[in-house]
Amino acid sequence: MTDLTPAQARALTGVGWRQPHYGELLERRPELGFLEVHSENFFAAGGAALGVLLRGREHYPVSLHGVGLSLGSARGLDAWHLDQLADLVERVDPVRVSDHASFARADLHGQSVHAADLLPVPWTWASLAVMARQVEQVQERLRRPLAIENLSAYLQWPAQDMGEVDFLVELCRRTGCHLLVDVNNLHVNALNAWRREHGGSRTPATAELLAPSLAWLAAVPGERVAEIHLAGHCDTGSLVIDDHGSRVSDDVWQLYRHALAQWGPKPTLLEWDTQVPALSVLLAEAGLAADAMAACGRREEVAA
Amino acid sequence: MSAGIDTLAQEQADLLAALWGVADGREGYFEPQGLEAYRRNAGAIAERALGAAYPSLRQCFDKGSFAGLAHDFWHDRPPRCGDLARWGEALPGWLADQAAAHDLPPWMGPLAQGEWQLHAMAALADQEPAGDTLARLVEGDPDRLRLQLAPGTSVMRADLPLVSLLHACGSGLAAAEVPAASDRADDEGRVGQLIELGAPEIALFWRQGWRPRVRALAPDEALWIEALLAAPTLGAAVARAGPVLERMDLTAWLGQALESRLLLAVRDA
């Protein structure tokens, strides 16, 4: 595995650029590999938000991360949404474009509604066919591959033909899309699955808890992975929620290091969307990701 | 496969129905804990999105009441597209419908209408002012020229002191004029008082650079700007405004309009 210098590792590390940090980041211009923004926040034809994004783009590569394409909707894609995204891609020339393996659009009261959330799709052949067709549609329009992110899901569909990772790998095979692997989402799903199965009566050993996520990561070919996401989660008592509102947990760092050891260095994003901290805190977390990336090559060499 | 896709469409519609609390044939199909997590998230999203579009209105409610309003509106008028900045346009009319049933003060609808105007303007395409184009007015034929006004320019005739109300809540002002949070009319009582004491105002909305602005218009200026907005040429606008222009100092108006970026350029019609 190629060893990375700290500077090379930082060049692969980005942060979610949110409104509280717009001005400060442009002023300080910290050493970062890229900025990630939510595409839908910049669908306006003009105005301050888009102006700020374009200023950021003058200094950093930008990763456009969508939360609303609804790629798994059996109702089809929203042509208006795709038009807006295509316009934004044209303006920003992003380093990556991504969205989620989810749906949001469906009929309600006889009209098409967008639930504004990342709702899980069943891991079925029908669902795969829908998503593959729509991923291809988007890729053809944008003339570039999409990266598809795995979800944290709080509902399980009773009927499933396969597991999530098999669904996503097959989606990549059919469409040529990439994966955006959110290791925090993997861990949140593992924690909630544990609670569904065992209740709150027993605290699992770390190895036991991480095992399903490690198996998930092992099933993904490294060449398909375009980006890794890291974030914090919160425990509400009954469910663990992927709220992007705190530091990355130790278990998630462990999964991240494992993923790097398996796939090698990958562009990595630090997301923090709620209770957004001072920029210095966010940058320090991103620095930890860069440190882990720089260390993964060295660790491999020692092991070899 | 199409039967599979039809089934999938139905399953997805059923999940939305469950999230919106609409009775369906899948009672108990979805895990209640999971449904509740998504509903809680929807509530937070609704409050955040509506609060971003209607900051003054939000100030007039206590936090719990505004969250309740956002929840009810989300259920009655769910988002139709994936850009939440576009959700909420129907709120002024919805508030008017709710006013009687929920004992809401009648000014909320018009206030919301003004706020939406400001919110929507923020997303319009940018237009830069041209250089020194006023000189064209000296020699040009008014029937072949037009005044290009700022994006989103519009006139709203309210039957309440709409501009004073928006300004008191900190909306639509120049950056330097925004009052400190402690000086804003941030409760229903103070807003009600303002409305009781104030006279109806004509509001001018325009975008000053990236900043959505609103100010009060005198009746003559309102007629003049309405004429500029409606007429295809400057000559037609002058004819439409008629005697109004005899009562206005047009040279002074042009200078002020340029300075405030209400007027961007003199263009060919």
Q: What is the CATH number of the domain that holds A236?
A: 3.20.20.150
Residue in A with minimal Cα distance to B79: A114
Which chain B positions have a beta carbon within 8 Å of A87's beta carbon? none
Looking at residue A159, its pLDDT comes to 85
* Pick from A242-251, A258-267, B126-135, B182-191: least confident: B182-191
Looking at residue B97, its pLDDT comes to 87
Looking at residue A252, its pLDDT comes to 97
Q: Do B33 and A154 touch (CB under 8 A)?
A: yes
* CA distance to partner chain A, nearest, from residue B9 (Å): 5
* pLDDT at B261 > cutoff 80: yes
Q: Do B34 and A112 touch (CB under 8 A)?
A: no
Which residue did the predictor score with more confidence, A298 or B243? B243
Q: For A226-232, what is the mean pLDDT? A: 98
Q: For B57-72, what is the mean pLDDT? A: 87
Q: Do A48 and B122 touch (CB under 8 A)?
A: yes
Nearest Cβ partner of A115 from B5, B19, B83?
B19
Percent pLDDT > 70 in chain A is 96
- pLDDT band at residue A298, thresholds of 50, 70 and 90? low
* pLDDT at B140 > cutoff 50: yes
Q: For A147-154, what is the mean pLDDT? A: 97
Cα–Cα distance measured from residue A1 to residue A299, given in angstroms and rounded to the nearest whole number: 9
Nearest Cβ partner of A81 from B9, B33, B81?
B81
B256 reaches A (C-beta below 8 A) = no
- pLDDT band at residue A140, thresholds of 50, 70 and 90? very high
Nearest Cβ partner of B79 from A106, A114, A239?
A114
Each domain of chain B, given as residue ranges in start order, spans 2-121, 136-268
Q: What tens digit of pLDDT does each residue of B75-124 get?
A: 999 999 999 999 999 999 999 888 777 778 878 888 899 999 999 999 99
Which chain A positions have a beta carbon within 8 Å of B211's beta carbon? 48
* Rg, Å, chain B Cα set: 23
* CA distance to partner chain A, nearest, from residue B48 (Å): 11
Looking at residue A302, its pLDDT comes to 44
Sign, CA dihedral A283-A285-A288-A292, equals negative
Which chain B positions have a beta carbon within 8 Å of A154's beta carbon? 31, 33-34, 37-38
Does A75 reside within a domain? yes
* CA distance to partner chain A, nearest, from residue B243 (Å): 37
Does A1 reside within a domain? no
Q: Do A45 and B123 touch (CB under 8 A)?
A: yes
Percent pLDDT > 90 in chain A is 88
B45 reaches A (C-beta below 8 A) = yes
- pLDDT band at residue B61, thresholds of 50, 70 and 90? confident
ipTM, two decimals: 0.94
Q: What tens digit of pLDDT does each residue of A47-99 get?
A: 999 999 999 999 999 999 999 999 999 999 999 999 999 999 999 999 999 99
Which chain B positions have a beta carbon within 8 Å of A124's beta carbon? 4, 8
- pLDDT band at residue A304, thresholds of 50, 70 and 90? very low
- pLDDT band at residue A219, thresholds of 50, 70 and 90? very high
The overall average pLDDT reported for chain B is 90
The overall average pLDDT reported for chain A is 94
- pLDDT band at residue B188, thresholds of 50, 70 and 90? low
Q: For A177-198, what is the mean pLDDT? A: 95
B21 reaches A (C-beta below 8 A) = no
Mutate to test the interface with B, among A22, A41, A52, A117 (most CBs of B within 10 A): A117
Nearest Cβ partner of B80 from A41, A74, A112?
A112
B11 reaches A (C-beta below 8 A) = yes
Which chain A positions have a beta carbon within 8 Å of B38's beta carbon? 115, 117, 119, 154-155
HEC letters along chain A: CCCCCHHHHHCCEEEECCHHHHHHHHHHCCCCCEEEEEHHHHCCCCCHHHHHHHHHHCCCCEEEECCCCCCCCCCCCCHHHHHHHHHHHHHHCCCEEEEECCEEEEEECCEEEEEEEEECCCCCHHHHHHHHHHHHHHHHHHCCCCEEECCCCCCCCCCCCCCHHHHHHHHHHHHCCEEEEEHHHHHHHHHHHHHHHHCCCCCCCHHHHHHHHHHHHHCCCHHHEEEEEECCCEECCCCEECCCCCCCCHHHHHHHHHHHHHHCCCCEEECCCCCCCCHHHHHHHHHHHHHHHHHHHHHHHHHC
Count of domains in chain A?
1
Mutate to test the interface with A, among B8, B19, B80 (most CBs of A within 10 A): B8
* pLDDT at A1 > cutoff 60: no
- pLDDT band at residue B9, thresholds of 50, 70 and 90? very high
Looking at residue B223, its pLDDT comes to 97
Cα–Cα distance measured from residue A5 to residue A1, given in angstroms and rounded to the nearest whole number: 13
| Domain extent at residue A80 | 6-303
CA neighbor of B69 nearest in space, from B33, B108, B34, B38:
B108
Nearest Cβ partner of A239 from B20, B33, B127?
B33
Does A43 reside within a domain? yes
Cα–Cα distance measured from residue A234 to residue A286, given in angstroms and rounded to the nearest whole number: 19
Residues A304 and A279: beta-carbon distance below 8 Å: no
* pLDDT at A301 > cutoff 70: no
- pLDDT band at residue A297, thresholds of 50, 70 and 90? low
Which chain A positions have a beta carbon within 8 Å of B22's beta carbon? 108-109
Q: What tens digit of pLDDT does each residue of B47-60 get?
A: 999 999 999 888 88
